[in-house]
Amino acid sequence: MTTPEETAALKQEILACNGWLSSHGYFGTLRGTGGNVSVRSGDDAFLITPSSLSYDEMTAEDLCLLDFDLNVRAGARRPSVEAGLHAAVYRKRPEIRAIVHTHQPFASVFALINRPVPALFDEVAFKLGEQVEIISYALSGSPELAANVAARMDNHAHAYIIQNHGALLLGADLAEAWLNAELLEKACQVYACALSTGAPVSPLPEAVRNVIRDTRRFLREEKLKTLSGNRSG
Ligand SMILES: [Zn+2]
């Protein structure tokens, strides 16, 4: 259960994250309403930003509480059209408690050339996973897009690029998903610049990639053990 105080704190965190992402260009425009943010609330619901409301005007009362079948539990606004995509992630990845969906510019470059972004810096690989994969295109807000997202979750990464659309960042909490958006943008900006030189791009050594993969797997398994302990306890 999430207490009213915890819910109020989560809502303030969502508003702060939204404001930062919007004012730093992560939603694609400074004046539009693209992108969306959600946080898991308890085991079977999530708080998400509403549809078509400017981030300057958004207040805690505008956030929507939905279950994973998209039934509205609280909030008078229409939820983000991408709520189904968020629910698909929460269903497939119990260790994920926050999701940021952006239209950030440099990640969008790779959404257009339909090319995965390899982890070329160890701190990026550690946070995002070994490779940022491309999720196949489907119309924004469609059940097909939610299904395409769900189908990609098995690599346990914390960042994805949606073909011809934008980016999807996951975290154990909102601070992590938010930081991952910034890390992905940095990685994509530098990778795009490196590719534009025409020079070969130096990969991380395989031994380092293996250490990072093993560490990420260990941390995920520990988190899942803690979660199942909390549920049964
Ligand atoms: Zn979008």
State the average pLDDT for the chain. Answer: 93
Q: Under CATH, domain 4-232 is a member of which superfamily?
A: Class II aldolase/adducin N-terminal domain (3.40.225.10)
- Does residue 54 have a pLDDT over 90? no
No. of helices (H) and no. of strands (E), the chain: 7, 9
Please tell me the number of Cα atoms within 13 Å of 83 on its side-chain side.
Answer: 22
The Å distance, Cα 208 to ligand 1 centre, comes to 33
Q: What is the mean pLDDT of residues 166-189?
A: 97
Instruction: Quote the Cα angle for 170-174-178, to 5°.
Output: 70
Ligand 1 midpoint to CA 115 (Å): 18
Identify the band that residue 213 occupies on the pLDDT scale cut at 50, 70 and 90. very high
pLDDT tens across 60-105, in order? Answer: 999 999 999 999 998 888 999 999 999 999 999 999 999 999 999 9
Segments making up each domain of the chain, as ranges? 4-232
What's the 33 CA to ligand 1 centre distance in angstroms? 10
123 catalytically annotated: no
* CA 9–ligand 1 middle distance (angstroms): 25
**Rounded distance between C-alpha atoms, residue 180 and residue 101, angstroms:** 11
**For the chain, percent of residues with pLDDT exceeding 90:** 81
Where residue 233 falls among pLDDT bands split at 50, 70, 90?
low
Residue 17 backbone dihedrals phi, psi, to 5 degrees: -65, -50
**Among 13, 82, 130, 185, which one carries the catalytic annotation?**
82
pLDDT digits (tens, 9 = 90+) for 5-35: 889 999 999 999 999 999 999 987 776 667 8
Task: Give me the residues paired with residue 101 across strands.
Answer: 36, 168
Q: How confident is the model at residue 134 (pLDDT cuts 50, 70, 90)?
A: very high
Q: Give the per-residue pLDDT at 3.
A: 87
Residue 162 in contact with residue 133, Cβ under 8 Å? no
Neighbours of ion ligand 1 (CB under 5 A): 166
